[in-house]
Amino acid sequence: MRIVFMGTPDFAVASLAALVEAGYEVVGVVTVPDKPAGRGRKLQASAVKQYAQSKGLPVLQPERLKDLTFLEALQALKPEVQVVVAFRMLPKEVWQLAPTFNLHASLLPKYRGAAPINWAIIHGEKETGVTTFFIDEQIDTGNIIFQDTEPIDDYDTVGTLYERLKHKGAALVLRTVQAIEWGRCPSVPQQGEATQAPKIFRDTCHIDWHRTSAELYNFIRGLSPYPAAWTTWQGKNLKIYWALRPDQEPYEPKWWQHLQPGEWATDQKRFALVRTGDGYLSVKKLQIEGKRPMDIDEFLRGHTL
């Protein structure tokens, strides 16, 4: 079965690798054009392109998905199925060429959009998962093929959950391709209340210390390690990667109650607390502007709160 794979980041590489290692014929890989990155602004290929080239797979990098030259090149590959993982929204001219399905990192219709893993943790969900579905004209609305659930641990961050869903998603992609190949592929309309997981911008990540400790705990881990929740301190941006709630790290007596939301308290050795709307967070890992990430004890040795 002739497969065209479309994807960009590391999350998609696991699915592409699963298909290659299972012996499927990947006749082409579509990814984004190389982009400048780093201090030298040198052109850097996407993670999917790097993997594809390491396996000798043909790569297409269109600027525009409706470009006639690209569409002709895609048609020439004669795909029998197209697999999409963490890529752009496809125009009808592309997804109508062959049965086309997408892997999404949520249990659709929950968390449709660009950042499902982040928003599931930010909203305090206890469970998420992965979904394969047939692409249609709207984003993340097509008929569901398969789903697989994944619990969200209270100590999960985007980083830890991302890794598990990446591999769970790859297994689901492989299962979906096999079902299409065998002619036993489900196609069930999405049911239940739809929720959104919009793209996250810098302003989205700004910490509002008036919110509750539980909300801010989920907010910080839902943005860690990237793009990271941030606040300001002495006129500089301060990213916070990890912090604990009062029930996870209690401090007595409750002298912190006299602080205002956003104010810090510390022994200048081992701990630093920030007042929230109903308590505090004990900051454990952070990064001051221009420096590398540090555990709180190391940070306190070089900075006076």
- Residue keyed to tokens 């920030």: 274
Q: CB count, 10 Å around CB of 45?
A: 18
Tens digit of each residue's pLDDT (9 = 90 or more) over 11-34: 999 999 999 999 999 999 999 999
Q: What is the rounded CA–CA span in Å between residue 48 and residue 44?
A: 11
Q: Is 4 helix (H, G, I), strand (E, B) or coil?
A: strand
Q: Which residues of the chain carry a pLDDT beneath 70?
A: none
| 272 within 8 A of 296, measured Cβ to Cβ | yes
Tens digit of each residue's pLDDT (9 = 90 or more) over 217-236: 999 999 999 999 999 998 99
Q: What pLDDT sits at residue 304?
A: 84
* Closest C-alpha to 274, from 301, 294, 296: 296
Which residues 6+ apart lie within 8 Å of 218 measured at CB?
121, 122, 123, 124
Q: Is 82 helix (H, G, I), strand (E, B) or coil?
A: strand
Q: What pLDDT sits at residue 252?
A: 79
| 145 within 8 A of 186, measured Cβ to Cβ | yes
Q: What pLDDT sits at residue 3?
A: 98
Q: Enter the pTM of the model.
A: 0.95
| Pairing status of strand 59-60 against strand 25-30 | parallel
| 94 within 8 A of 175, measured Cβ to Cβ | no
| Pairing status of strand 2-7 against strand 81-85 | parallel
Q: What pLDDT sits at residue 37?
A: 81
Q: What pLDDT sits at residue 140?
A: 97
Q: What is the rounded CA–CA span in Å between residue 272 and residue 268?
A: 7
Long-range contacts of 212-216 (CB under 8 A, 24+ apart): 212/276, 212/277, 212/278, 212/279, 213/245, 213/246, 213/276, 213/277, 213/278, 213/279, 213/280, 213/281, 214/124, 214/245, 215/124, 216/243, 216/276, 216/281
